[in-house]
Amino acid sequence: MLRHARFCSRRGLLLVLAAMAAGLGGSRQAAAARPVRVLVWDEQQPAQKQAYDNFLGNQIAEHLTGVPGLAVRSVRLDDPDQGLSPDALDNCDVLVWWGHVRHRDIKPERAKQIVDRIKRGQLSMVVLHSGHWSVPFVEAMSQRAQDDALAGLSAEDRAGARLETTPGPTEAPHYDSPLTPETQYRKPIGGPVVVKVRLPGCCFPAYRADGKPSTLRVLLPDHPIAAGLPHEFTNQQDEMYDEPFHVPQPDAVVLEERWAGGEWFRSGSVWNVGRGKIFYFRPGHETFPVYKSPLMLKVVENAVRWLGTEQAAGK
């Protein structure tokens, strides 16, 4: 009887484990089958009317709505809860963000809610053009800078380290300005390691809204964001940004951009932030019809699809 009881117990345990595995597999299949939920957030400033009859964000959302496997909503800064209610964020896999002159209107607690979800792997973000100075992007880059600083320590030193941060620059830097983020380590005798981080300014030394063309070049042709893109293609009319971009080192630079004047920029970069991801795509000044270009829209489409797929897979 005892031997039979042990057999039944083991058999029951195996059945429970099999059921759990089946349930987990079913959950993953359900997540994979569900459309990627996309929230396109747009400041919707009046200057966009020079290039878009129905605003830049709506132009992008209209394109994404026609892409199979995506469920898309378009919101704006002047919507209730700034378009960023907890319910809206909880029902979003990928947040696409465009903003420019009203960054500081975003409440800090809303930016923190966004970045907390990214860190937990519940949300990914596509940041466009002047969104480099948006509150969520700056918060996410500051978090990544701190993570990078602590990662430079041994496990033993990291466990007791004291992290001290100072704000990054709030104006565009000069070419010879010290790069941010900047990290210093100090270990007093008998004390914990002190890690001092000057946070990233998330800007660059030069920009020019003259509408001159640029050339985008694919650096990582096998990356999903580059799917279906030619090796080189033209951004016909846009603002110029020039390196160095004061951000943490990206995990992947998919695209770079160059201008006839010699300027260049890492124009398609990916960062891991906690368990989530952020993709920054540089093109998209509001007075030029950048997002009427099929290739520019293709980059955003690829990024949204890839980020949503990675998130569903828990990567």
- CA–CA separation, 41 vs 255, rounded Å? 23
- The model carries a pTM of 0.88
Which is it for the CA torsion 127, 67, 53, 267, positive or negative? positive
- CA–CA separation, 34 vs 22, rounded Å? 18
Look up tokens 């496990």; give the residue: 155
pLDDT score, position 312: 81
CATH, range 36-312? 3.40.50.880
pLDDT score, position 314: 81
- CA–CA separation, 281 vs 270, rounded Å? 9
Q: How far is CA 143 from CA 199, 231, 269, 300, in A?
A: 9, 33, 17, 24
Walk along the chain (315 residues) in steps of 10 and give the mean pLDDT of each run. Answer: 39 44 45 84 96 97 97 96 95 97 91 96 97 97 97 92 94 96 92 95 97 98 98 98 98 98 98 97 98 98 96 81
Q: Which residues of 170-182 are buried (b: 16+ CB within 10 A; e: fewer)?
A: eeebeeeeeebbb
Alpha helices in the chain (DSSP H): 2-33, 56-65, 86-90, 108-119, 135-151, 155-160, 294-312
- CA–CA separation, 180 vs 247, rounded Å? 6
- CA–CA separation, 216 vs 192, rounded Å? 46
- Domain regions of the chain by residue span: 36-312
pLDDT score, position 32: 52
Backbone torsions φ then ψ of 215, nearest 5 degrees: -115, 125
